[in-house]
Structure 1
Amino acid sequence: MLREIVLDTETTGTDARNGDRLIEIGCVELINHVQTGNVYHQLVNPQRAVSEGAFAVHGISDAMLADKPIFADVVDAFVAFCGDARLVIHNAPFDVGFLNMEFARLGPAAPKPIVLEEVVDTLLLARRKHPGAANNLDALCNRYGVDTARRVKHGALLDAQILAEVYVELLGGKQTSLGLSIAEPAVTVARADVADSGPAGPRPMRSRLSEDERVRHVSFVESLGTNAVWREYMEP
């Protein structure tokens, strides 16, 4: 069984080394790449003001955080939820940097720092799969048809849920169960639903070659001799 935690955070600003703090953590559990419905969500009092730039992105105000617990009071529950699962994060250095900075503030009793190299960074996955294209979360949602209608502002839990869907698409498609099997393509299901459609099988593609091009190709293959590998792919 493969257990993964898709994680996202919101912060007071963009620079953990300059004193910015975590204000929200959202986690979604995946078992064999399927969302189980088990989530972790926590707002955190950062003990400092939220910057105007960050507020414009996530809409979480100082007033909303004033009565929330500090990170030291929620870290045990957060670490317990994650357990030894593999973390999945978009632009992992950002979130890991903030989490490790929060851990460091806890002193000797702090959890072990997160090892960045052990995290699945979906931004890197997307860049390898779609080089040269926009690979922020919004762009990936548009590319894969992931519904973002609820995403008026950034929010850690909602973004983690959306990222979980994107992550599965980056891996090649949605799963059907808590097993390892991948859902069959919709066209296969639709064909099976038609009672008298006959046996399912691959549909031959229509050749794009003109008759003249086909004749010249046959002539070229004939010139290669009787042992030419291309003869195996010629029409009988």
Structure 2
Amino acid sequence: MREIVLDTETTGLSPAGGDRVVEIGCVELINHVPTGRHHHIYINPERDMPEEAFRVHGLSEDFLRDKPKFSQLAQGFVDFIGNDTLIIHNAPFDMGFLNAELEWCGRARLANPVIDTVMLARTRHPGARVSLDALCKTYGIDNSRRTLHGALLDSEILAEVYLELIGGRQVALALSAEIEYGQRGGPARPPARQRPVPLPARLTARELASHAAFIAEMGDKAVWLNYGAVEDEPAELARA
């Protein structure tokens, strides 16, 4: 199962107002575990950089001036994400910008499934703050490198947060083990190991007799009589 954790940086808040994407960072997950593969690009927005946006991510007009335009980078980006699920914090923001950029260069909008970790966090922690920094604090994730917003760094941090939101590292490792087993030709979940010799009954004859006497006192209301023997129950107890 392949997922892509994705983040963008932009010149502002609204593509409808002329704002553009200036950075995209993507991190690949297989079975919820980062593989080490990533896709990271800086983009010439073909416009100025407002001071408010510069204070957020630190990407200046001078730095971005010689970078490729989105139209030159779109194919590599689309190829990397494929049709796989996108994991995005506040997905409507990033998806709005990416689809606008794709439309401006004559390409189709993204049709990938999307998981919005803001909505996921609100479900897991109702009433709590769900910013990326707040979730790092909740889960004890080190975000000390995040002095400024950066698309690739934020994607790497979000990958850790996402893993915690869906149940923690053990969930991912268990799923990885199951799928790896299936890829070797076995079923999706390894079969439970059976004991070569069944364990002996732990009930003594005295305990069995005491139990039978107890059931007799209950008459026809005893569940043992109504539902029959329980699977794997000692034969003596089932007959009682």
Q: Same fold (TM over 0.5)?
A: yes
The answer to whether the Cα contact below 8 Å between 2:86 and 2:115 also exists between their aligned partners in 1 is: yes
1:125 Cα deviation from its structure 2 partner: 0.1
The answer to whether the Cα contact below 8 Å between 1:141 and 1:147 also exists between their aligned partners in 2 is: yes
The answer to whether the Cα contact below 8 Å between 1:8 and 1:27 also exists between their aligned partners in 2 is: yes
Residue 51 (structure 2) aligns with? 52
TM-score of the superposed pair, with normalisation by structure 1 = 0.72
Q: RMSD between aligned alpha carbons?
A: 1.7
Q: For the residues of structure 1 that align with 2:177 and 2:84, how far apart are their CA atoms?
A: 17
1:102 paired with 2:101, answer yes
1:113 paired with 2:112, answer no
* Residue-by-residue CA offset, 1:95-131 (whole Å, 9 max, x unaligned): 0000000011012xx1x31248x21000000001111
1:173 paired with 2:172, answer no
* Residue-by-residue CA offset, 1:37-69 (whole Å, 9 max, x unaligned): 000000000000111111111011001100000
Q: Which residue among 139, 144, 165 is the counterpart of 2:139?
A: 144
| Structure 1 segments of 4+ aligned residues over 2 angstroms from their partners | 175-178
Q: For the residues of structure 1 that align with 2:77 and 2:67, how far apart are their CA atoms?
A: 15
Structure showing the higher helix proportion among its residues:
2
The answer to whether the Cα contact below 8 Å between 1:34 and 1:178 also exists between their aligned partners in 2 is: no
Q: Aligned pair in 2 of structure 1 residues 144, 19: CA closer, same or farther (>3 Å)?
A: same
The answer to whether the Cα contact below 8 Å between 1:34 and 1:177 also exists between their aligned partners in 2 is: no
Q: For the residues of structure 1 that align with 2:132 and 2:103, how far apart are their CA atoms?
A: 29
Q: How many residue pairs end up in the alignment?
A: 178
Residue 70 (structure 1) aligns with? 69
Mark the structure with the bigger radius of gyration: 2
1:176 Cα deviation from its structure 2 partner: 3.4
Residue 214 (structure 2) aligns with? none
SS of residue paired to 2:29:
strand
Q: Aligned pair in 2 of structure 1 residues 178, 60: CA closer, same or farther (>3 Å)?
A: farther
Can you give the 5+ residue segments of structure 2 that lack an aligned partner in the other structure? 179-220, 223-240
Q: For the residues of structure 1 that align with 2:63 and 2:135, how far apart are their CA atoms?
A: 30
Can you give the 5+ residue segments of structure 1 that lack an aligned partner in the other structure? 182-225, 228-236
1:124 paired with 2:119, answer yes
Residue 217 (structure 1) aligns with? none
SS of residue paired to 1:128:
helix
Query: Aligned AA for 2:176?
Result: G
Q: For the residues of structure 1 that align with 2:159 and 2:67, how far apart are their CA atoms?
A: 26
1:7 Cα deviation from its structure 2 partner: 0.1
SS of residue paired to 1:176:
helix
